[in-house]
Amino acid sequence: MIELDQIREQLKIDDEDVSDPILQRLLGAALRWIENRTNRKLYPGDVELPADAPANALLMDDGIELAALLLIGHWASNPSDTSEAKLESIPNGAASLVAPYRWFYDC
C-alpha cells in the first residue's frame, strides 16, 4: 500500500505543505480512478488475496502504485477544474500504466 511518506517524496513536499487528510483523500480518489479504469478490485500488494476476493481482484504492484502517484501529483498541482492557467488533463502515463491490467469479463 502507498504510504503518505511515499506521496510526499513523489511530490517533493514537506509535512506542513499538505495535510494528511488531503493526501489520504487524493490517494483514495487515485485508487478509485484506477479501479474504475481497470474494472478491478485493488488489494495491497504485500498481503495475500482473501479467500472471498472477487475474480477481478488485483494485487497492487509497482505499476499500479506509480500510476496512483502520478494521479496524486497531477491533482495536487491542479486542484481546480478551471483556472487562468492552461488546463491539464489526466496524465497519459497513468492511463498507460493501468491499461494492461484492464479486466474484461463475460456479460
Q: Express as a percent the part of the chain with pLDDT over 70.
A: 88
pLDDT of residue 79: 76
pTM over 0.75: yes
CA distance 64 to 71: 11
Is pLDDT larger for residue 91 or for residue 38?
Answer: 38
Which pLDDT value is given to residue 76?
A: 87
pLDDT tens per residue across span 4-35: 999 999 989 887 888 999 999 999 999 999 99
Residue-wise pLDDT tens digits, 72-81: 998 888 777 6
